[in-house]
Structure 1
Amino acid sequence: MMPPRQGWEALQERLLFLPPLPEQLDPLALFALLLVAGLLVGETLFRRFGLSRIVGYVLAGAVAGPGVLGWLDRETVALAKPVADAALGLLLLETGRHLDLRWLNANRSLLASALAESGLAFVSIFTFALLAVGLSPGWSAATAAITMASAPAVVLLTAQENRAQGQVTQRTLLLTAISCALSFVVFALVLGVVHAEQAGDWLNAIVHPLWVVCGSAGIGLACARLALAIAARQAKGSAAQVFILVAVALLAIGVARMLAVPVFLSLFMMGAALNLADQTKVLAYTRLPEGHWTLAIVLFVVTGAMLPLDKLSWLTGLQAIGLIVVRGLAKFAGVVLTGRNDLPAAKRRLVGVGIQPLSATAIFMGAELAAIYPEVSGQALLLPLLAAALMELAGPQLCRYAFKQAGETEPPPEPRR
């Protein structure tokens, strides 16, 4: 670098506006290059090897992140996290819109399947973390709350990526939405348990969960009503309605961040409120544009960079694999043993495979908990975060396998020449 540096310094003597030669690439430029790399890796894996694009995005972030090569340091990842928050929020908004409470009331077997697979997953993970790993009851409950749900962003994007439609796809999306809602309720309760265990602070143990639940519900309901009120004056399915939906979602994200309420929970609540309150189908046929795949790239690259791969050892790796196996069997059994009246056994088994993904939501739940007690949470949350790291790679493939085996996917369009 000496000749270029000397040449640059010589130019600086004549051109006063030139800045000093940078010691390293600007973090924003580096992050932009990483997003491009993630896109290229994802497309290559999808078109040549039949793997999910999401795997490529996560791999790019994980390799370049602090846990491996360190091209992205923790400060750069922290700067990118608000964008990833927005991406996850918008995807959870769509997940919440799949949560039709009226239909659930009519279809009790679906609700039974969701309660069975989520309940079995929580109990199994809690028992494993408490007895096999040796975590305290509070952090065992936190581990179970973080990892009990399926990954709504992965399931939704995998279905869109493969243009999947059918009974297995629809049941997987619905069970994911319900288990996500249940895990959010459990997550709020676990916040109180962690406060009580770590600090013996019963005021925070009671008020903090209420603040999270009521704040998220209030933000979600208010923003849903605002979006419906404005969108009702526009043509149905128009670009104006899409713009209103995204703009109000961003408003919800901003308010949630100001009030220290989880963004992912607020946007999920907004989606569920839209589904429930949209009696005249104002926004029922309005979907996020294809551009939300751009947000997905940001989300999974940042998620990959947040994974604590530098703390992975043979022992923690075995514990994470054990958690994945226990969780997977519980969720699979919960689906297979219920819903016999409205879905054949073969399709129930495929749904049990399709709901396995665990990723971004777990990472962001862990970040919320880590912000409360950073001195303890680093080690206590290592198990669920490492499990999420492994399932970032395996989960999308399991979901895609289920949709494909059900015969509900379409081949990708031929690239333009």
Structure 2
Amino acid sequence: MIRAVLLLVIVVILIAAARSFLPEETSLVGSGAALAFGFVLLAALQSGTIFASFRLPRLTGYLMCGFIAGPSVLDFVTESMVRDLKLVNGVAIGLIALSAGGELNFKRLRPRLRAIVSVGAVSLLLAILFISTACFLLSSQLPFMAGMSVFHRFVVSLTMGVVLSALSPAVTLALIAETGSSGPISETILGIVVLADLAIVLCFAGANALANAVFGAVDGSAGGGAGELMVHLFGSMGGGAVLGLVLAFYLKTIAQRVALFVFGILFLCAEAGARLHLDPLLMCLTAGLFLENATDIEGAKLVHDIESASMPVFAVFFAVAGAGLHWDVFKRVISVAVVLAIVRAIALLLGSRIGMALGKVPAAHRKIIPYGTLSQSGVAIGLCVLLAKHFAGWGEHASACLLGAVMINELIGPVLFRGALLRSGEAGRREAVAGSH
């Protein structure tokens, strides 16, 4: 740990020195991206090592590093730098999604499908119900709902409940990879969060359509947001199927420098997705599912081939996510954010227990699985951004409250999940399985 602390101090001194030579008004676009990427990568890796020495998730170290170095605290990584790193984020999301899809074999999951559907459905239903109710009861304390009718407050509360119910495949996969976990518990949790987040996207489309009908979209086109979201959803899935075919062809006919080819494809996906309004997460998730379930290529083997690149990718991705957390916004909504985070945790833990009973989950698994549902990250943040974009007046303020709760879940959820994985007895099994082949 001492070595990691010293390296982190050196990196901070170097970035401070580099920044001191630049005028204050410099935006750092372009070259700033390279500076930010190098600093974030080195500093985040050392921060992860420091947190790991205290038996905390490396992921939490990455987040805290980004938050402290970001615009809210030290401003080593400026807002323009965060924007410049969007392409890197797209690649990271693509890698996470491709790995998640490659790990989900429907044939292998069939015995646990009832558990996955039961836990996911009940947890999401209770989360949406509890969070929406909490938002409605707190509406008198929320200035942006002042003057709204009861029905309008109900619609806003329902939309907020759907957004805050999102789970996090990115955090789940990152922690499974970090702990080297493999087995029925890890597979069940991954299946729950992936399928639940797909369901949340569809629920958001419905809630968004209702809110558009009641309030009208920013551009005045009622229902336009939901239609746009559905095209975005199914267009991304179609693009993912094409991507899966390309990867399958390459892996069967060439199969050389696989990791390099995959990363090239992911960069292309991130760039094309931004221009064509497609989601890299859905595209790469679909491609991973296609490879694992519709071809004779083992998605898990592909994941293992590119696993060596996962840690630096996760480090940059979560550090940039941490840099995007704004303390000035969080301070204004901290009381509401804490209440919503607690209500969400209660709903998900209770929903998981009811779902596990309905799905006849083995008793030994019931103490672990609920903790896999608590974390949040990219999907929830993305839905908050859409909320602020689509609804003038209340959308931006509702988004700020939700982002405050997401910030809490983003920091606490991974700690609880990592502890649960270590207690499950599945930590370290992935290395053992890989070594036996």
Taking structure 2 as the reference length, what is the TM-score of the superposition? Answer: 0.80
What residue is the counterpart of 1:209 in the other structure?
229
Instruction: Give the distance between the partners of 2:94 and 2:386, measured in 1 at CA.
Output: 14
Of 286, 308, 329, which aligns to 2:302? 286
How far does residue 283 in structure 1 lie from its aligned partner after superposition?
4.2
State the identity %. 24
Aligned residue in 1 for 2:317: 299
Question: Does residue 1:382 correspond to 2:400, yes or no?
Answer: yes
* CA distance 1:252–1:187, change in 2 (3 Å): farther
> Which of 115, 124, 133 is residue 118 of structure 1 equivalent to?
124
Aligned partner letter, 1:224? G
Tell me if 1:401 matches 2:401.
no
Hey, what does 2:251 align to over in structure 1? Answer: 231
Aligned residue in 1 for 2:10: none
Aligned position for 2:7: none
Equivalent residue for 1:163, pick from 180, 188, 194:
180
> Given that residues 64 and 305 in structure 1 are in contact (C-alpha distance below 8 angstroms), is that contact kept between their aligned partners in structure 2?
yes
Residue type matched to 2:280 in 1?
V
The equivalent position to 1:132 in structure 2, one of 127, 135, 138, is 138
Distance 1:57 1:74 in 2: 18
After TM superposition, the structure 1 = structure 2 runs for residues 34-183 of structure 1, keeping only pairs within 5 Å, are: 34-47=40-53, 49-102=54-107, 107-133=113-139, 134=142, 136-183=153-200
Partner of 1:16: none
SS in 1 for 2:301: coil
Partner of residue 324, structure 1: 341
Q: State the Cα distance separating 1:105 from its structure 2 match.
A: 5.7
More deviation, 366-375/286-295: 366-375
Deviation at 1:101, TM superposition (A): 4.3
1:22-41 matched pairs, under 5 angstroms: 22-23=22-23, 27-28=32-33, 29-41=35-47
- Shift of residue 398, structure 1, vs aligned partner: 0.6
Bigger mean CA offset, 198-207 vs 321-330: 198-207
**Structure 1 residues 127 and 292: alpha-carbon distance in aligned structure 2, compared to 1, 3 A threshold:** same
Q: Contact conserved, 1:77 with 1:305, CA < 8 A, in 2?
A: yes
1:95 is paired with a residue whose SS is helix
Q: Which amino acid aligns with 1:22?
A: L
Distance in 2, Cα, partners of 1:404 & 1:206: 41
Distance 1:60 1:225, change over 3 A: same
Contact 2:123/2:350, CA 8 A, preserved across alignment? yes
CA distance in 1, matches of 2:287, 2:154: 32
SS of the equivalent of 1:110 reads helix
Query: In structure 1, how many angstroms separate the alpha carbons of the residues matched to 2:283 and 2:154?
Result: 27
TM-score when normalising by structure 1: 0.83
- For 1:307, the aligned partner's letter is L
Q: Which moved more, 1:206-215 or 1:301-310?
A: 206-215
Counterpart secondary structure, 1:312? helix
5+ long unaligned stretches in structure 1: 1-20
Q: Where does residue 369 of structure 2 map in the other structure? A: 351
Post-superposition CA distance 1:170-226 (Å, at most 9, x none): 222221222122122223334434443333523514531321122112111111122
Structure 2 CA distance for partners of 1:141 and 1:85, relative to 1, 3 Å: farther
Moved more, 302-311 or 97-106: 97-106
Q: Report if aligned partners of 1:241, 1:283 keep a CA contact under 8 Å in 2.
A: no
1:84: how far off? 1.2
Q: Which deviates more from structure 2 when the two are superposed, residues 221-230 or residues 132-141?
A: 132-141
> Deviation of residue 39 (structure 1)?
1.6
Shift of 1:104: 5.5
**Deviation at residue 402 of structure 1 after TM alignment:** 0.7
Q: Following superposition of structure 1 onto structure 2, how do residues 10-29 of structure 1 map, counting pairs within 5 Å?
A: 22-23=22-23, 27-28=32-33, 29=35
Where 2:253 maps in the other structure, the secondary structure is: coil
More off after superposition, 388-397 vs 358-367: 358-367
SS of alignment partner, residue 23 of structure 1: coil
More deviation, 250-259/216-225: 250-259
**Amino acid in structure 1 at the alignment position of 2:348:** K
Contact 1:77–1:302, Cα closer than 8 Å, also in 2: yes
Q: Is the 8 A contact 1:143 1:383 kept in 2?
A: no
CA distance in 2, matches of 1:349, 1:362: 25
Corresponding position of 1:265? 282
Secondary structure, in 3 states, of the residue corresponding to 1:291?
helix
SS at match of 2:418: helix
1:330-370 alpha-carbon deviations (Å, 9 max, x no partner): 21122212334643335213211222111233223333444
Contact residue 91 and residue 270 of structure 2 kept, 8 A? yes
Residue 399 of structure 1: how far off its partner (Å): 0.6
SS of corresponding position for 2:375? coil
- The SS at the match of 1:338 is helix
How many residues matched?
Answer: 387
Report the CA distance shift for 1:164/1:211 in structure 2 as closer, same or farther (over 3 A).
same
Contact kept? 2:341, 2:405, Cα under 8 Å: yes
Aligned to 1:14: none
Letter in 2 for 1:149: A
Distance apart, 1:300 and its partner CA: 0.8
Does structure 1 conserve the Cα–Cα contact (< 8 Å) formed by 2:67 and 2:322?
A: yes
Please give the alpha-carbon distance, in whole angstroms, between the structure 2 residues aligned to 1:141 and 1:50.
Answer: 38
RMSD: 2.8
Contact 1:62 1:68 in 2 (8 A): yes
SS at match of 2:277: coil
